[in-house]
Structures are given as structure tokens and as C-alpha cells.
Amino acid sequence: MSKRRLISSIAIGAALGGAAALFDWETRKYTKHKLSIAKDKSVDIIKNPVLSIHNARIAMEEFSESLVFQTENAANALQQVENSIARVTSKPKRLEG
């Protein structure tokens, strides 16, 4: 019961907070602008589903390529750190004389 009360209280608080924020003219203007953009994009997706799927595929391919590139960079950086630590921690042999 308390879980349900917590979640519903959070939802009510968020709704009231959002409604209170709309009293500000700039916030209303910003919200109206963003909703207009969302509506336009939704209409474009509905009218051109093939193009939308194509654009999503292109975006995923670019993300995948970027992820591979960044992963390789991270692996190279870790290799350099490992080599540096190995050089610092290895002690040269002393000549006894």
C-alpha cells in the first residue's frame, strides 16, 4: 500500500509542479514551442515512415561507429597507462661492486 501511495504522490507532485511552472510566460512559450516541434516531427514520421526508419538506421550506424572508435581509444589509453605503470614499478638491477 505504501508503495502505491509513494508513486501516486510523486506523480501528483510532478503534475502540480508542472502546472505551477506554466504560470510563467517564458515557460509557457518554451513548452508551446517544444510541443509544436514534437507534433511536426510526429506528423513527418507518420507521413514518411520509410524515411524515418532510414534516418534511425543511419543514426544507429553512426552511433555504433563512434562507440567502436571510442572503445579503441579507451583500450589504447589503458594500454599506455599499463605500460607507464610497468616502467615506473620495475626496479633496475643494481650492480654489486
DSSP output for the chain: -HHHHHHHHHHHHHHHHHHHHTTSHHHHHHHHHHHHHHHHHHHHHHH-HHHHHHHHHHHHHHHHHHHHHHHHHHHHHHHHHHHHHHHHHPPPPPPP-
Q: Pick the range with the lowest mean pLDDT from 17-26, 65-74, 85-94.
A: 85-94
In this prediction the pTM is: 0.49
pLDDT (0 to 100) of residue 4: 81
**pLDDT tens-place string over residues 32-85:** 999 999 999 999 999 999 999 999 999 999 999 999 999 999 999 999 999 999
pLDDT (0 to 100) of residue 63: 96
Per-chain mean pLDDT for the chain: 89
Query: CB 2: neighbour CB atoms within 10 A?
Result: 6
